[in-house]
Structure 1
Amino acid sequence: MYWLLIFIVIICFHVSTSTLTSNSSAGRVKYLPGFQGPLPFYLETGYVGVGENEDVQLFYYFIQSESDPDNDPVMLWLSGGPGCSSISGLLFEIGPIEFGDEHYNGSLPTLVSRPNSWTKMASIIFLDLPVGTGFSYARTARASYSTDNQLCDHAYEFMRKWFESHPEFVSNPFYLGGDSYAGLPVTMITSLISDGNEVGNKPYINLKGYVLGNPLTFPEEDNYAIRFANGMGLISDELYKSLFHTCHGEYRLEYINTSNIECCQNLELYQKCIYGIQRANVLEPYCGDHEQFLFLPTQKLPKEQQYLSTSECRVIDTYELVYYWIPEAMLALHIRKVCIFLVYRIISLLTHATTTQGTVTEWKRCNHNLNYTITVYDVKPYHQKLSMKGYRSLIYSGDHDMIIPHQSTLAWVKDLNYSVIDQWRSWKHNGQIAGYTESYSNMMTFATVKGGGHTAPEYKPEECLVMFKRWISYQPL
């Protein structure tokens, strides 16, 4: 087996010297490990170089609409974090494939078609962003550092170059989408594209609007977790009232005066009440803070309280499957660093180590150790600006998400102060209430997804598909 390791190292040298000379590359993927037969949709993966000297190499998955790709909308999708690979959106939320639901037995995970994919009516580009996320990488140490603003610049440059290499899609309606932390950059990127169109940047991008799920938007968002907890019966009315009066409506730890003993005591009682609650979806078994999309200050628990064992954990039973699948899929996905992973794979086989040993070192679904600086904390002004320009927007929230509660999202939507044109009402699917919605004169639609968590399509895929299909087709929910 050692001779095989040496052979792959030699092959890697030749592959790296040939592939890394190209700053842009793309190729169709017809087969994926774990999926039986050829893919029933068009999948393309590739890299696009952006930034100074194109030292940032962004990796993407592009899936053509399964209906009418010549005319259907094109959407750029970003996952949250920052640092969560767009494979999260592809495999766990809105893409056309997902892992099978059988119990994992140590072999290659099985992939199956997802009947509720948003690619049924839109072409979607799933982009690994910022640099250091997923398979996107930097060619220099300097390029490995980024900020919110650089992320947005990179995304805009990516889209212009992508449309230049895919001119057949440049006239299609274009939307941006994302969830969780992506609520910040998606709004800013939409504004960048709009400004670029106005000054005559080429190619002209046929921008129509944006879609945001459970989006981070403004600093006061986590204050609403207290209100959510009370509304869900997780804390008593008495504690809620006491918290409000003693903390004066501010529950973020960094803004609380430690001399306010009553507030601190009430917050301690609050933390005890919510201990054991899975904040991504309060209805699900508690799995600790492992692989959460977003960590908010008031929601952190002591280390010794971060994990509880459970036999029904979405994190363990679903998310971790991707770590077993990725090493087998990288050749098919045209990953440039595939040789590094192959070496780790062989070493793990030689040493009888687990298959995730090397992959965790090189690839993480959510990389929370990025060289990344948060520079923007409030994008409400961007929403206001885009509203004034008449862009459409769909803002939706799983109503059982405690990470970014739907009350906080509705609060900033209301704060934009546009008149209501379709008052608060239920929206239905198959004769059942699927959530509640309200629409405004700025062409913004807010919707809750009943029973959804963080993020909603993971928990209610069929309902979210119906919601998206109606909205993208200009129909009322």
Structure 2
Amino acid sequence: MVGVDVAVRRQGPDVVSPNLNFALTPMNLCSRWCRYVEVDQDHGGEFFYYFIESENNPAEDPLLLWLTGGPRCSAFSGLVFEIGPLKFVAAEYNGSLPSLVYHPYSWTKIANVIFLDSPLGSGFSYSRKYEGYDANDTIWSEQAYKFLIQWLVEHPQFISNPLYIAGDSYAGKIVPMVAKRILDGIDEGKEPLLNLQGYIIGNPATGGKVDKNSKISYAHSMGIISDDFFEMIQKSCSGQAYENPTTSQCQMYLNSFTNCYVYALAYYWANNDIVRTALNVKKETIKEWVRCNIYLPYTKELKSNIKYHFSLLQRGYRALVYSGDHDLVVPFSGTKQWIKSLNSSIMEGWRSWHVGGQVAGYTMTYSNNLTFATVKGAGHTAPEYQPQECLAMIMRWISGELL
């Protein structure tokens, strides 16, 4: 792997202008490595990643591998919009390079974080042969595992750190698959032996029909759609709207549930030549960076990942499942249903959890080491909307405290 060391510093609200060193202010925030790891030798495929050390104690703090959903949304989105130490200055684009500021609620407060552009075709990850872009759930999880093994071989100082696999949205399907693959490697005695402790998924897709069909009832319960409209959907779709849109009328009603997000500043920033040089992006690999690459082939072959949850939880691994309670993409009501299907007894019943004396959401803990939490007022990517609350949540959970 060939890469550059990128330093990030902060000084109050001062902005960050990317250069070869990302030198910002006198106070050193963290060090970052932006590099490639080969995961597909046959097709010349390499994953690009951003590694950010913990601001606390890198030698002992957990190592967290972050996967962004989509599939094929760049991990840079998770870095600057969700859990990383930098965020864009909210301002209208004026033709100059967008500015970044320090994000005080970064998960790097307590963990070393690898933000991984995966699968191939996401962010700056690339394949020299087009066939390498033909991905599915299994390929993604296997290549993520291969990446992690290779990364730890080259960074042995982190092998003993507690390891957590994390991600949100569609990555909620993949995270348990990667964790299970790690477990299989441990059972096989594959070196290096990873210190897996558990996994973290936010607003997670599971692949089951419960994710999709819960959208209608959730929108109705939140007052987003009227009683009349809800009844029309139920009648025309036979109660199985997303799973089985049996009529054209049913399909027409479903068009009301289209969501669009605009992250224009990230496009201008990531496609700047100075930025690409600083990140050590290989020339002629990715012509234009896009936040989510929807045009490359991807097969969603996994219908449900419940079996992976069963396997991991039965072996004693910890799990944190969190959901923004204003998410219409993967409503928390559907997440609660599949968690219930795991048939684990309740250790601590439904209650509120708090940050700064205010209700931050609701939580429940199960005997299988799974903690479920809602984040009050948060949408599909919960840390983007409620960063302070989500940092408090992850800090408490990592340390073994009750939320």
TM-score above 0.5: yes
| Structure 2 alignment gaps of length 5 or more | 9-15
Alpha-carbon deviation of 1:107?
Answer: 1.3
1:161 aligns with 2:150: yes
Distance of 2:312 and 2:341 partners within structure 1 = 15
Alpha-carbon deviation of 1:53?
Answer: 4.4
Contact 2:236 2:249 in 1 (8 A): no
Aligned to 1:402: 328
Which of residues 52, 76, 96 is equivalent to 2:41?
A: 52
Aligned to 2:5: 28
Which of residues 330, 333, 336 is equivalent to 2:276?
A: 330
**Aligned pair count?**
388
Aligned to 1:85: 74
Distance of 2:254 and 2:151 partners within structure 1 = 48
- Within a 5 Å distance, the mapping from 1:77-116 to structure 2 comes to 77-116=66-105
Larger fraction in strand: 2
Aligned to 1:302: none
Aligned to 1:187: 176
2:328 is paired with a residue of what secondary structure?
coil
Question: Is 444-453 or 93-102 further displaced after alignment?
Answer: 93-102
Give TM-score, length-normalised by structure 2. 0.91
1:209-264 deviations in Å (ceiling 9; x for gaps): 00001111033111111111111112334543564455332012x62333xxxxx6
Distance of 1:270 and 1:189 partners within structure 2 = 32
Contact 2:43 2:132 in 1 (8 A): no
Aligned to 1:369: 295
Q: Percent identity?
A: 46
1:154-183 deviations in Å (ceiling 9; x for gaps): 111110110000000000000000011101
Distance of 1:406 and 1:29 partners within structure 2 = 38
1:80 is paired with a residue of what secondary structure?
coil
Alpha-carbon deviation of 1:428?
Answer: 0.5
| Structure 1 alignment gaps of length 5 or more | 1-23, 259-263, 280-288, 292-314, 342-358
Which of residues 311, 316, 320 is equivalent to 2:264?
A: 320
2:172 is paired with a residue of what secondary structure?
helix
1:115 is paired with a residue of what secondary structure?
coil
Contact 1:85 1:134 in 2 (8 A): yes
Alpha-carbon deviation of 1:362?
Answer: 2.0
Alpha-carbon deviation of 1:54?
Answer: 7.2
The one-letter code sitting in structure 2 at the alignment partner of 1:391 is: Y
Contact 2:140 2:174 in 1 (8 A): yes
1:42-100 deviations in Å (ceiling 9; x for gaps): 11111111123472111110001100111100010010111100000101100001112
Distance of 1:70 and 1:178 partners within structure 2 = 23
Q: Which has the larger radius of gyration?
A: 1
Give TM-score, length-normalised by structure 1. 0.77
Distance of 2:382 and 2:92 partners within structure 1 = 23
Aligned to 2:360: 434
Larger fraction in helix: 1
- Within a 5 Å distance, the mapping from 1:69-218 to structure 2 comes to 69-218=58-207
The one-letter code sitting in structure 1 at the alignment partner of 2:7 is: K
Distance of 1:247 and 1:140 partners within structure 2 = 43
Contact 2:220 2:226 in 1 (8 A): yes
Contact 2:141 2:174 in 1 (8 A): yes
Distance of 2:90 and 2:230 partners within structure 1 = 40
Distance of 2:152 and 2:387 partners within structure 1 = 29
The one-letter code sitting in structure 2 at the alignment partner of 1:325 is: W
Alpha-carbon deviation of 1:403?
Answer: 0.7
Contact 1:235 1:270 in 2 (8 A): no
Aligned to 1:416: 342
1:40 is paired with a residue of what secondary structure?
strand
Distance of 1:267 and 1:51 partners within structure 2 = 39
Alpha-carbon deviation of 1:376?
Answer: 1.1
Which of residues 212, 215, 218 is equivalent to 1:228?
A: 218
1:382 aligns with 2:328: no
Contact 2:105 2:387 in 1 (8 A): yes
Distance of 1:414 and 1:162 partners within structure 2 = 36
- Within a 5 Å distance, the mapping from 1:228-377 to structure 2 comes to 228-241=218-231, 243-244=233-234, 247-252=237-242, 255-258=244-247, 265=249, 268=252, 274=256, 279=259, 289=260, 291=261, 315=262, 319-326=263-270, 327=272, 328-337=274-283, 340=284, 362-377=288-303
Which of residues 25, 40, 45 is equivalent to 1:37?
A: 25
The one-letter code sitting in structure 2 at the alignment partner of 1:376 is: L
Distance of 1:155 and 1:267 partners within structure 2 = 36
